[in-house]
């Protein structure tokens, strides 16, 4: 099946995901199907809640092929790094956010093997971002009150332009 990526406003993005007890065929299929959805959206990471599934799993690819992490946890972090972060669930917007520069992440792969990764910069950022999704946390939650207010009003503006665009395109069939 092909997955639709849920966007800000969808309540599924705000729920806490549950641990995966059994890495069975359904979990493997789900991860396998999330990868093309991530590529199609030109993302480098995609968490299960973003396709409407409340499970602790995400897929990612930072140029070394697709990987899946199950029940991931960050057990250590260090440093500070400011980075302009985007999110497939908040398309068209990005924010400079400061987070730890390095993290140590543990979890399991699709075969059930224990994984332990010391990540820095982009990969560390990706891990923290995807972990947030598993907790129901989105980019906008990292902004201060004024930034958040401005971001949400811009989001509503983008959404209304998008809705108008779709309505217009329906009858006109533009190239």
The DSSP annotation for the chain comes to --PPPP-TT-GGGGSPPBPPS---HHHHHHHHHHHHHHHHTT-SEEEGGGGT--BSEEEE-SSS--EEEEEEEEEEEE--EEEEEE-TTSTT-EEEEEE-SEEEEEEE-TT--EEEEEEEHHHHHHHHHHHHHHTT--GGGGS-HHHHHHHHHHHHHHHHHHHHHHHHHHHH---
Report, in Å, the least distance between residue 37 CB and Ni ion. Answer: 13
| Touching Ni ion, residues 74-113 (CB under 5 A) | 87
| Structure tokens given for 142 | 């990292």
Q: What are the distances in angstroms from CA 102 to CA 2, 77, 105, 128? A: 33, 5, 10, 10
Least distance (Å) between residue 164 CB and Ni ion: 25
Known catalytic residues?
130
Measured from the CB of residue 82, what is the shortest distance to Ni ion in angstroms? 18
Q: How far is the CB of 80 from Ni ion (least distance, A)?
A: 21
Tell me whether residue 69 or residue 87 sits nearer to Ni ion (CB atom): 87
Q: Identify which of residues 17 and 87 has a Cβ nearer to Ni ion in the complex.
A: 87
**Residues in contact with Ni ion, total (CB under 5 A)?**
1
Q: Between 70 and 131, whose beta carbon lies closer to Ni ion?
A: 131
User: Residue number with the shortest CB distance to Ni ion?
Assistant: 87
Residues that bind Ni ion (CB under 5 A): 87
């Amino acid at each position: 099946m092909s997955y639709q990526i849920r966007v800000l406003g969808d309540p599924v993005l705000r729920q806490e995901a549950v641990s995966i007890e059994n890495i069975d065929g359904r979990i493997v299929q789900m991860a396998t199907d999330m990868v093309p959805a991530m590529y199609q959206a030109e993302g480098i990471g995609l968490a299960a809640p973003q396709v409407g599934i409340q499970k602790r799993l995400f897929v990612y690819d930072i140029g070394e092929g697709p990987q899946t992490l199950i029940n991931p946890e960050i057990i250590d972090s260090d440093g500070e790094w400011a980075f302009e972060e985007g999110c497939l669930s908040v398309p068209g917007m990005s924010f400079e956010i400061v987070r730890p520069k390095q993290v140590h992440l543990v979890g399991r792969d699709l075969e059930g093997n224990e994984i332990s990764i010391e990540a820095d910069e982009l990969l560390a950022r990706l891990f923290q971002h995807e972990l947030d999704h598993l907790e129901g946390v989105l980019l906008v939650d990292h902004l201060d009150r004024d930034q958040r207010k401005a971001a949400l009003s811009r989001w509503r503006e983008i959404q209304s332009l998008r809705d108008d665009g779709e309505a217009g395109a329906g009858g006109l069939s533009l190239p």
